[in-house]
Homo-oligomer: A and B are copies of this chain.
Amino acid sequence: MPLEIRKVLEKFLSLLIGLGSVFILDSLYPAKSPPFWRYICVDMRVTDNKKAHNTSSYKNTSLIVRRNKEFIIIIRFDRPFNNQQDNVHLEFMIGNSPDENKGTYITVSFGKEKRDGRWNGRVIGMQGNEVTVGITPDASCIIGRFRTFVTIVTDLGKQRTQRNPDIDLYVLFNAWDPGEDTDRQEYVMNDVGIIFNGEINNISSRAWNFGQFEKGVLDACLLVLDAGKVPLLYRGNAIEVVRQGSALINSQDDDGVLVGSWSGDYSTGTAPTAWTGSPEILLKYAKDGGLPVCFAQCWVFAGVLNTFMRCLGIPTRVVTNYCSAHDNTGNLKTDIILDEDGRVNRSRTRDSVWNYHSWNEVFMRRPDLPERFSGWQVIDCTPQETSDGLYRCGPTSVNAIRDGELSYPFDARFVFAEVRNMSMLFDVYLPSSDKYGNTKVINVDTTYVGKLLITKRMNSNAYEDITSAYKHPEGSLKERETMQMAERRGVSSRDYLPPAEAGVTIELQADTIKIGDNFKLTLNIKNQTRQTCTLSATITGCVVYYTGITSSIFKLDNKAYMPYLVEQSNLLFVVYGRIEENGKTLSTMRVVALRPPELTIKVTGTPRVGKDFMVTVSFRNPFNFILKNIQLRLESPGLITTKLKTYDHIAPGGSLQYTETITPQYPGKKVLIACLDCATVRQVTSQLEIFVQ
């Protein structure tokens, strides 16, 4: 029988019988005597199994299960099943060369010849022509999309059903396994979240649509593994999948999902600040056949990696570290180099302290390490430094970071430096030095870095302070022990000695302001000696990116900072002073955060399933200059996919309003996320929670 005719016939029979996918067996033509069946019918019981496996949310018609938990399927024959005579294999295959030894070819047999394979199988019930079978993928099973086949074995030979994608089976990691005890509702099931940003004195946040259940996202995540050539063998090992994921979400080395850019010019793609969620990015990546998507910065990387992990079933959260050291030199010291005027020397300062940096934590057992290192693990896909040859970072145990146990894989040293950089240095040029100039340490601050680590609180949009998970309290015995342990593990922390105390302290104070507003800068000077001191000081103001990289330096006598601003910029003030009596130098710095203008979301009507209501996003240009090439995004997981509107310009003082009519399909809490973006004003975001009745 030609394949096409068989398929049409099978489809027809499926509709006729209405109990699952029908497969006609070759034995029907020519007819053979029993015990051959002429057709079998496979019911994957998608709805019930998905409910039991916490996978109902996936917008995907196939069966999706979590490994190490039984799922139930029903096979219906065209005559009663005989447990003593009939011999049936259910087969699951993944990849191009399925092999039982590699776990890419799985057999579950029942009936006459019952054998034990990797996956446990049992007959739960027989009734009439129907057999109900329970199958449990083993706890270390490869995750991904398996093709399902049924094979009938008789003394005369065997028959396997043709491939039918309708009965494909997705297997995911199982965060519901014992030993994986964390809040699954928040860290696996929540498809919307908050990513914190801003500056330590001005913590702000933006909503993010993780959208791990959106249509096509699961297939896109599996494509990431395929495009990254992650061997199937490794896909049963969560540690490997997590590490590969941290490499594959950035495009460096491996043409992964997102291209990082901090250039300020994003005209060839979408600005990192303009995105509102992961599905738009992952679906674009999949649609373009694995072409990297432009552009991302840390929160975009963290947002997409969060989606990837939650989608595959691994508990994940986004963490933001304020004053995050980026130690380019791998020496666990951050060197900020000033020139003779006290200004940050941009060409010689290679390390930086980011105002904030967002990464991810995954919750997992680490069977490869001593038990105390299971639990939350840092992973980071923002391309900062290569780890063993590729841009990736982690998984590294948060407990190991806290206790200075830096020997264990992966990348504990780098993360340790991000949160607890030994010495924050201000080096200065000696005026006599030449282009290979020498520097002198003028200030060492061991507490500046890793000041605060936060993540979204469970069932709330507020933040949870998790600093103590990464660091014992400053000055405590445990913290001293951590530093000693880190030194025993090869961290040489103490080769720069802090200079002698100057006897005078200086401190800068300033408020957070709305972008464009005036503000007051206060320099507090305290003389702790009994002598009179004469201090000559220079204050330099410069514009810094969130990565701590300085952009333009502006003149304080001019006092107009607006023309110098860059995206997501803050103002950095550095004071460099010298006490004339004893020649001692001192310095301090302070970031002044600039709050972006506001974006408003309003709802008209009561959101009900099946009824229209309206959402209006509005914005007023508060500046005395024109805003050009504006992108406005609106999305809401489970409610609407990303809507993108572009506007040519908004005049000074001018406004825009965008209204969308929405018809909800599912009830429950929803989050509307909006973002306005243009080259001169970034990070204009807003979110609104609504309840669909």
- Mark A residues whose CB is within 8 Å of B: 91, 93, 98-102, 105, 107, 115, 117, 153, 158, 233-234, 243, 247, 329-330, 335, 337, 348, 350, 367-370, 388-390, 406-410, 427, 432, 434, 436-439, 488-490
Contact = CB atoms under 8 A, between A and B. Distances in A.
Given A389-B389, A434-B158, A438-B100, A368 B406 contact: yes
A490 B367 contact: yes
B350 A98 contact: no
Given A389-B388, A389-B390, A408-B408, A98 B367 contact: no
Given A367-B490, A388-B410, 14 more contacts: A93-B436, A99-B350, A100-B436, A100-B437, A100-B438, A101-B335, A101-B348, A102-B350, A105-B436, A233-B330, A368-B406, A368-B489, A368-B490, A388-B390
A340 to B, nearest CB: 16
B434 A91 contact: no
26 contacts: A93-B436, A98-B436, A99-B350, A100-B436, A100-B438, A100-B439, A101-B329, A101-B337, A101-B348, A101-B350, A101-B427, A102-B329, A102-B350, A105-B436, A107-B436, A115-B438, A117-B438, A233-B329, A233-B330, A368-B407, A370-B407, A370-B488, A388-B388, A388-B410, A407-B409, A408-B409
Contact of A369 (B337, B427, B489): B489
A409 to B, nearest CB: 5
Contacts of A408: 407-409
Contacts of A153: 432
A428 to B, nearest CB: 13
7 closest residue pairs by CB, A with B: A367-B490, A368-B490, A388-B388, A369-B407, A105-B436, A389-B390, A409-B409
Contacts of A101: 329, 335, 337, 348, 350, 427, 439
Contacts of A490: 367-368
A348 B98 CA distance: 11
A247 B389 CA distance: 10
Looking at A234, A369, A407, the one whose CB has the most chain B CB atoms below 10 A away is A407
Contact of A489 (B102, B367, B436, B488): B367
Contacts of A369: 407, 489
Contacts of A388: 243, 388-390, 410
Copy count, this protein chain: 2
Contacts of A432: 153
B438 A107 contact: yes
Contacts of A337: 101
A407 B102 CA distance: 24
Contacts of A409: 407-409
Nearest to A98: B436
Contacts of A329: 101-102, 233
Nearest to A247: B389
Contacts of A243: 388
Contacts of A368: 406-407, 489-490
A408 B410 CA distance: 10
A632 to B, nearest CB: 40
Contacts of A434: 158
A99 B348 CA distance: 8
A383 to B, nearest CB: 15
Nearest to A104: B436
Contacts of A93: 436
A173 to B, nearest CB: 16
A522 B183 CA distance: 65
Nearest to A113: B432
Contacts of A410: 388
A100 B367 CA distance: 42
Residue of A234, A370, A438 with most partner-chain B CB within 10 A: A438
Contacts of A427: 101
A517 B664 CA distance: 85
Nearest to A432: B153
Contacts of A436: 91, 93, 98-100, 105, 107
Contacts of A91: 436
A242 to B, nearest CB: 13
A615 B440 CA distance: 64
A243 to B, nearest CB: 8
Contacts of A330: 233-234
Nearest to A101: B335
Contacts of A233: 329-330
Contacts of A335: 101
A21 to B, nearest CB: 21
A150 to B, nearest CB: 13
Contacts of A99: 348, 350, 436
A330 B142 CA distance: 14
Nearest to A91: B436
A91 B490 CA distance: 28
Contacts of A489: 367-369
Contacts of A115: 438
A433 B103 CA distance: 17
A115 B432 CA distance: 13
Contacts of A390: 388-389
Nearest to A333: B101
Contacts of A98: 436
A93 to B, nearest CB: 8
A659 to B, nearest CB: 49
Nearest to A243: B388
A542 to B, nearest CB: 21
A153 B433 CA distance: 10
A429 to B, nearest CB: 11
A153 B436 CA distance: 14
Nearest to A388: B388
A49 to B, nearest CB: 25
